[in-house]
Structures are given as C-alpha cells and as structure tokens.
Structure 1
Amino acid sequence: MLNSSLLRRRTFISLVATTTLSLAACSRTEFNQQEYLPKILDTPPYEQIEYSFAVHPLHNPSRLFEIFNPLMEYLNNHIPQAYFRLEASRDYSTYDKKLASASVDFALPNPYQTIAALDTEQYHVFAKMGDDYNFRGIILVRKDSGIKTINDLRGKTISYPAPTALAATMLPQYFLQQHGLDVLHDVKNVYVGSQESSIMNVLHGDVDAAATWPPPWELLVQQRPELKEQLSVQWQTDSLPNNALIARKDIPIEVIKQVQHLLSKLHMNEQGRRILAGMYLSKFELADNQTYQPVRDFVAHFRAEIRDPEREM
C-alpha cells in the first residue's frame, strides 16, 4: 500500500474584509447602517499538497540539507500548488528500505538504487543529474602511505560508504578485481556509512585506502583544503550514467512535468546555477527508464564476478 503522506494538505483560507471610509463631510445617517465584517470564502483559492523528496546519502544529513534545501525552496517558489519537503536518511540501508516500500514521493537515488526502485514497478525515471563523466569511483590513499600499485593493497583495509553505493563502492571494487586483486579475500572491506566518513577514515589512518566519488571529495576539499596536502587520488574508474530523479507512479503527471521542466532549465538562470554549484553539478537533464540499461549491464557483471549487493542491504 502506498504511503498516505501524499494526501496531507495545507489549505490556505482567504479572508476578504471590506471597510468604509468617509471621504466627505456628511452625516453618518446618510450611509446605510451596515456592519462590515470579515467574510470567509466557501472555497479556498487552491490546495497545496506536500511531497517528500528523498535524496540518497551523498553526504551526512546536515550537509545534505545545506546543499539540497535551496533546490526544494526553488521548486516551492515556482510550483505554488505543491510543497516539497527534503527527506534525508541516516544511511544507505535506511534509504534503500524507503524505496523498497515506496514510502517517498520523489527521490534522487544512485543508479543502482534506481534500477532497484524501477524493479518494484512503483517508480519511473523522469530526469537525471548531468556530468556523467563525474559518476566514477576514486580511491584515495595517504601520500605518506607508500601505496603506489594495486598490489600494494594486499592485506590492507579499504573503506567505502556502503555496499550499494555504486560509484563509491561497486565501481572501485570492480576496478580492483579487474586489475588482479581479489576484493573479497585480498583486502578487508569496511562500510562506514557516508562519503565523508570514508574519506576521513583514510585521512586519520584508520584504513589504508578509501573509496568515494568526485563530488563529495571536491566539496570536502573546499571546506578543508589540507586534505589535498595529505591525500592523493591514486586510482579512478570508468563512469556510468549519473544519479536519477524518480517519481512514484501515483504522482500527478502535471506535477512531475513541472518539476522536470524546472530542473532541466535550472542551469539557464543565475539562481539555478548557484544551486547547481553547491552540488558540484553543471545541470540536470531529461532521462527515462531506458537511460539506466548500462547500469543493469554493469550490475549483472558485478554480481557474477564479485558479490550480490542485495544480500548486504
């Protein structure tokens, strides 16, 4: 059964008040003795429906709100009949369960989560993040670690955000496997819950290498420039289609089209470019379910050669 939060309504009641103002010197008795009181209209001007908009754990919840809440405000200012509420999740597992139960209205999942959501037959893709070249994994090491080759990782510990993080976990693990490392036996894999945690684990020396992907790395470097002095991007993987925008199938198509239009044009105005800059993104673009067929192909190879992510959800 679909979540009923979609039906929560915010109704605005318009009050119409009329007053009289004497503009000439005349007696009150010349006017009709009528009291002018506020009148409540029988029908409100419109109904505002709340929609949840769940973004997967690209960052910790406070950072996620800082980056994505301006986007919600932008949508709210341009679609007056709707109210979009940003919903964060404490970790990937929690987020995955929300999509599996179809408990959120709109979502921005990673590509692996996207195909899993499509398989529930409750969601469909209507747009995606651009810059596919950036949807790739990177593996960080400390510059003083002595790790130069993939063979140097044998017996070492590598941190990742989560088993189902496609760019930051699955792509790096596949890359290492293709380059001669048995990632299930030659290294110790630890899943630390977020992109920032993965990066900070290698910075503090708690692990020997850390997997993540470019946007959270670049955003964290902006906050802490010293990271580039101590860490280096030792390897990077091939890319796949970037994160998707999906809507539950019971959402009115008119609302979806409005969101689709606003997001696909976001890079064409100054306010939109500022919002995108916070995401380390140049634009959103149109997409559909078929856009993610390359992801299905990759996941099939990953399952066959390494592990089944669903068993670790």
Structure 2
Amino acid sequence: MNMDNATTKDRFSFIRKTPLSLHNPVVALLLCLASFFATSFNAMAQTTYTFAVVPQFEQRKLFAIWKPIVDEVAQRSGLSLKLVATLSVPEFEHGIGQGAFDFVYANPYHIMKVSSSQGYIPLVRDSAPLRGILVVRKDSPIHSPAELDGKTVAFPSPNAIGASLLMRADLARLFKATVKPLYVKTHSSVYLHVVNGLASAGGGVEKTLQEQDPSIRDALKVLYTTREMASHPIAAHPRVPKEVREKLRSALLEFGATREGREMLAKVPMEQVVSTSIDDYAAMRTWGLESLWVDE
C-alpha cells in the first residue's frame, strides 16, 4: 500500500514539475484556436463603419438631425457607426465616386452613376417620392419658368438630382430657358439667396423647403414641380458584409416604426421608412441626365 501511494505521489509530482510544452500538438492546437477567436472577436469589436450624409443642410444642423439617428441605429443593430459630414456636395460626391464611405444617404442618381464602379446597394428609403421644385419670392413678377431665360438661378450643386440636375434639364428642354446657374452648396443657401434677392429663382425639393424656418418658407412660392422619383436611399458599399447590411436595414425599419423614430426621421425628412433596391431607381437611366452631370 505504501509503495502504491509513493508511486502515485511520484506521478503527480512529475506532472506538476513538467511544464506544458508548445511542441505538444494538443496544446499547440488549443493555443492556435484561442488566438484565432481572440483575433476574430477583436476585429469585429473594432470594426467601425462610416455613415456619410449628403450635406443638404449646413453642418451644425445636419449633425443635430443625423447624429441621434445614427447613434440609435448603431445601438439597435449592434454595429459601430461613425457619422461623416462633408463640407460640400461636390466633396461628398467625390467620396462616393471613390467608394470612401461604407454607408451613405445620397442622391439616387449618383448611386446609379457609380453603380458599375462602386456598386452601392440601396437598403431603405422614404416611401414618399422625391420631386424637385423651383421657388421664387412670393412678390416676384415671374410667373413661368420660361421667364427665367437669361436670369440667375441658385442651385445647391450641379448634380443634386431634383433640385438641380432634373430641374436644369426641364428648364432647358421644356421651357427653353437658358439660365445662369449659381451653385451655393446647400438647399438652405438656395432658399436664402432667393429670399434675399441674390437669385431670381432657386432649385430645391419639397422636403427641404418644409424643413426651413417659417420666415424663409413663407416668403417663397413654388413656381414649378418636376416629375417624381424614388427618394434618396440609405445605401451600403458592397465591401460591407451582407449580414452587416441586413442588420442596418432591419434596425432602420424597426426604428422607423416607433414613435420616437418617426419623429427623429421626419427631420431628415424621411416620413415612412421602407425597404428598397436598385430597381426602384432604374427609370432614371432613361431621363437623359448624363449630359448635364458635372464632374468636380
């Protein structure tokens, strides 16, 4: 009995004194698996996706509207999202053309234009259609877009789909009006230029006009409205994994169905969030807008 006990003690003593060897295949495998899962976990935890928004408002107002939305969607989806706001529409367009942003809220025609090079995938949009509007001061003597021939008209940028691109096409083709375009960076600046008499008219969209201060909005009247189109989408670059794209889509749809979500998204404005795809924008390819696009 004593010999057995001694033998047992010796065995355990040997085990305690023998270090785990990295050459042991089982130990090596366990270490490799631990390293793999730790690396994968850290990679997922550290992945932050950029969420860029077309500068439809001046930057401070844009952050005030979009930052709470992005933060809420990040919390609901479990994703790490960083809001990005460029200083101008051309700067934003350049970023999309380079595929610089993971998620974007953008001009639908620009999404179509870079579809072959970047392939942004529309996820959600507002159910309400987008229409461009041409505004003048309420006391303006101009009663038809044709009367703007030779006059200065303010636009946010050359390529804003409803406010500028389609509007300039309609002025030239439907009303034979050759205008002097003045590009002023944002929709809000367009309306201010018209109210202050710095432009005879201005291009915008119904949604952004409704977001203006009443003192600006009530000083303007809509002279002309374009055909309707599917609203600006929130889209994802194809490098974003499909499961991540779908998490964002689901979070936006769920958030948009809540009272708090509707109130916050109405400021975009996005009244009712619905799922979308590139097919909703295909008709734009037939509108002959390519010749009016300006690469900046």
**Is TM > 0.5 for Structure 1 vs Structure 2?**
yes
- After superposition, give the CA deviation of every residue in 1:142-168 in whole Å (9 maximum; x if it has no partner): 122211122321221100001110011
Contact 1:55–1:87 (8 Å) recurs in 2: yes
The CA distance in 2 between the partners of 1:140 and 1:212, in whole Å, is 8
User: Which structure 1 residue ranges, 4+ long, deviate > 6 Å from structure 2?
Assistant: none
1:243, distance to aligned residue in structure 2 (A): 0.6
Say whether 1:176 aligns with 2:160: no
Match of 2:14 in 1: none
Say whether 1:63 aligns with 2:61: yes
Match of 1:302 in 2: 289
1:128, distance to aligned residue in structure 2 (A): 2.4
The CA distance in 2 between the partners of 1:180 and 1:122, in whole Å, is 35
Between 196-205 and 249-258, report the one with greater CA deviation: 249-258
Contact 1:123–1:247 (8 Å) recurs in 2: yes
Match of 2:113 in 1: 116
Contact 1:53–1:107 (8 Å) recurs in 2: yes
Residues 172 and 122 of structure 1: is their aligned pair in 2 closer, same or farther, counting only changes over 3 Å? Answer: closer
The CA distance in 1 between the partners of 2:252 and 2:202, in whole Å, is 32
Contact 2:155–2:163 (8 Å) recurs in 1: yes
Say whether 1:258 aligns with 2:247: yes
Query: How many positions carry a matched residue from both structures?
Result: 257
**Letter paired with 1:171:** L
Task: Report SS of the residue matched to 1:72.
Answer: helix
1:122, distance to aligned residue in structure 2 (A): 4.3
Unaligned residue ranges in structure 1 (runs of 5+): 1-41
- After superposition, give the CA deviation of every residue in 1:266-313 in whole Å (9 maximum; x if it has no partner): 332122112222222222211222221012222xx234xxx3314x42
- Map residues 127-146 of structure 1 onto 2, 5 A cutoff: 127-132=124-129, 135-146=130-141
Q: What is the TM-score when the length of structure 2 is the normalising length?
A: 0.81
Task: Report SS of the residue matched to 1:47.
Answer: helix
Contact 1:136–1:171 (8 Å) recurs in 2: no
The CA distance in 2 between the partners of 1:302 and 1:103, in whole Å, is 24
1:199, distance to aligned residue in structure 2 (A): 0.8
1:240, distance to aligned residue in structure 2 (A): 0.9
Equivalent of 2:95, from 93, 98, 106? 98
The CA distance in 1 between the partners of 2:261 and 2:119, in whole Å, is 29
**Letter paired with 1:266:** F
RMSD between aligned residues? 2.0
Match of 1:293 in 2: 282
- Map residues 95-244 of structure 1 onto 2, 5 A cutoff: 95-132=92-129, 135-182=130-177, 186-220=178-212, 224-244=213-233
Percent same amino acid among aligned pairs? Answer: 23
1:48, distance to aligned residue in structure 2 (A): 4.2
Task: Report SS of the residue matched to 1:66.
Answer: helix
The CA distance in 2 between the partners of 1:261 and 1:168, in whole Å, is 30
Task: Report SS of the residue matched to 2:142.
Answer: coil
Unaligned residue ranges in structure 2 (runs of 5+): 1-36
Q: Which has the larger radius of gyration?
A: 2
The CA distance in 1 between the partners of 2:282 and 2:217, in whole Å, is 35
Task: Report SS of the residue matched to 1:278.
Answer: coil
The CA distance in 2 between the partners of 1:172 and 1:140, in whole Å, is 11
